Amino acid sequence: MNPIEKMPPNEFKVSVSLASIYGLRMLGMFLILPIFAIYATHYQGGDNRMLVGAALGAYGLTQALLQLPFGMASDKFGRKNIIYIGLVMLIIGSIIAALATDITMVILGRAVQGAGAVSAAVTALLADLTREENRTKAMAMIGATIGVTFAISLVLGPALAHWAGIAGIFWLTAILASLAMLVVKFVVPNPIASSFHSDASAVPAKLKDVLKNTQLLRLNYGIFALHAAQMAMFIVVPFAIQKTSNLDVNHHWQVYLPILLGSFVLMIPAIIVGEKRGLLKPVFIGAVALMLVAQLCFASLITSFWGIIFSLFAYFVAFNILEASLPSLISKLAPAAAKGTAMGVYNTSQSFGVAVGGLAGGYLAHHYSYSVVFMFCAALMSIWLMLTFSMKTPPSVITKMYHLGELNEAQAAQLTKTISALPYVHEAIAIAAEGILIVKIKNQLTWNEQEILEIIGSK
């Protein structure tokens, strides 16, 4: 049976509704990616690629700065209140960008859009409304929604721009954010009580440990480099497609759609092989190497239409594998009690990548050439590839969470010791303050969940 089907209807509804908030928000942000660089020339100052890059990357900078603080604020001021504030910021930023006549106003609008950094608050609300044993499934639904939304935006963005213009997309973003607010108000239930969840929220006390963890730092650099290259690519590729194919930007979906479909066909088996056969590290290294190849191909073949097609196909195969693998690796390698903190740092690194990629890509495209942009991206990937070789082989584990109810620190320590001693357990920790037990199972063939439940019951 599909694991999502095992979720109670109320938790499935919560997961779908919160995933839709992510989807509505990210669709508006993603839609401009494949077309903005070309449409930006309609703005005063829009022929300056540096400013175009700043407009694409501006939301990443403010999101990186505010993502963790918004999540922590939701613990104090309420999840929904912070989500409303973030969505209002997204609406205001979208309106500023929609009314803009020069590129600097678009940059301002994009920065305000990014200031509505509600991801951590939405994740915390999801944790409030789902039981521990279903939370991983709910998080997976959100991750899948973001991936599908990005794919849809590459196809839908050019068509919408043709129909409504770039300003119309910004207006649509404001409308989508307003719909997301209605979902929060009328569809998502209010939590009976909001509490801290170490698997879903950042722990300030754990930040130092997470930032000193070299295995996690490799992954944080990876997501930074991946999204820096993504932003830089979208400053160049729309112009290159238009110049080499005579396809106007409104028909660029005809390029992206078959490439995306083909890349998904190759990505899915690679992920299955990596996860099911314990080959995640070689698959991961292969994907980083393929991303480096894609950047080098872009650099040398950017003046050829079929060269661009080949480079895009290699890029999206690698991108899809890496985008799906990185969160899984964070979960496997992060200490059980610091998963939420590790994910918070990871998401912040991703947003900084968006900002740096937009700024660096715009600067290099404006002052040098398209090929130099991709050589910069290739340099980022070369560093990442070198880092992956010294990465520890991620343990083949699944994470289970159990509700414990009230217990003191001594009971939690004893339970941690007892569960950790089981032969099929990779790591276990009982957290008294949250009343939960987190267990990473390393041997699913000998795993005896009934044994764990009996130990919990006798605590």
Do 123 and 108 fall into the same domain? Answer: yes
DSSP 185: I
Count CA atoms closer than 13 A to 277's CA, side-chain side: 9
Do 4 and 127 fall into the same domain? Answer: yes
Do 386 and 452 fall into the same domain? Answer: no
In degrees and rounded to multiples of 5, residue 197 shows phi and psi of -130, 110
Do 32 and 130 fall into the same domain? Answer: yes
How far is 114 from 351, CA to CA, in rounded Å?
9
Instruction: Find residue 403's DSSP bridge partners.
Output: 436
**Tokens read off for 267:** 């990505």
CA 235, chain centre distance (Å): 20
Do 183 and 259 fall into the same domain? Answer: no
The residue among 366, 272, 271 whose CA lies nearest residue 319 is 271
How far is 67 from 338, CA to CA, in rounded Å?
17
Q: Which of 179, 201, 223 is the last residue of a domain?
A: 201
The residue among 316, 327, 225, 227 whose CA lies nearest residue 275 is 327
Do 293 and 191 fall into the same domain? Answer: no
How far is 12 from 15, CA to CA, in rounded Å?
5
Do 235 and 122 fall into the same domain? Answer: no
CA 392, chain centre distance (Å): 22
At 413, is the secondary structure helix, strand, or coil? helix
Give residue for tokens 């960008």.
Answer: 97
Q: Which of 156, 179, 201 is the last residue of a domain?
A: 201
| pTM (two decimals) | 0.91
Structural domain range at position 13: 1-201
In degrees and rounded to multiples of 5, residue 92 shows phi and psi of -60, -45
What residue ranges of the chain have pLDDT lower than 70? 1-6, 193-194, 459
pLDDT of residue 2: 40
- CATH number of domain containing 359: 1.20.1250.20
In degrees and rounded to multiples of 5, residue 399 shows phi and psi of -105, 130
**Which sign does the torsion angle of CA 198, 199, 200, 202 carry?**
positive
pLDDT of residue 291: 98
**Which sign does the torsion angle of CA 338, 343, 349, 352 carry?**
negative
Encode pLDDT of 131-183 as tens digits. 777 777 888 888 888 888 998 999 999 989 888 999 999 999 999 999 999 99
Do 23 and 144 fall into the same domain? Answer: yes
Instruction: Find residue 102's DSSP bridge partners.
Output: 44
Do 365 and 407 fall into the same domain? Answer: no
Cβ neighbours of residue 324 under 8 Å, at least 6 residues apart?
143, 147, 267, 271
Amino acid at 402: Y
Average pLDDT, the chain: 90
The residue among 279, 398, 408, 421 whose CA lies nearest residue 336 is 398
At 248, is the secondary structure helix, strand, or coil? coil
Encode pLDDT of 417-449 as tens digits. 999 999 999 999 999 888 889 999 987 778 888
How far is 134 from 127, CA to CA, in rounded Å?
9
Do 280 and 427 fall into the same domain? Answer: no
Residue 448, phi-psi category: left (phi > 0), alpha (psi -120 to 50), beta (remainder)? beta
Q: Which of 396, 419, 444 is the last residue of a domain?
A: 396
**Which sign does the torsion angle of CA 340, 346, 349, 353 carry?**
negative
Do 391 and 447 fall into the same domain? Answer: no
Do 335 and 422 fall into the same domain? Answer: no
Element of type H or E holding 282: helix 280-301
How far is 374 from 194, CA to CA, in rounded Å?
46
- CATH number of domain containing 440: 3.30.70.100
CA distances from 94 to 88, 231, 273 (A): 10, 19, 41
Task: Give the strands of the sheet with 425-431, arranged side by side.
Answer: 398-403, 436-441, 425-431
Q: Which residue pairs from 307-311 have beta carbons closer than 8 angstroms and sit at least 24 positions apart in sequence?
A: 308/237, 308/240, 308/241, 308/244, 309/255, 309/259
How many domains does the chain fold into?
3
CB 273 within 8 A of CB 283: yes
Q: Is 238 exposed, middle or buried (0-12, 13-18, 19+ CB in 10 A)?
A: buried
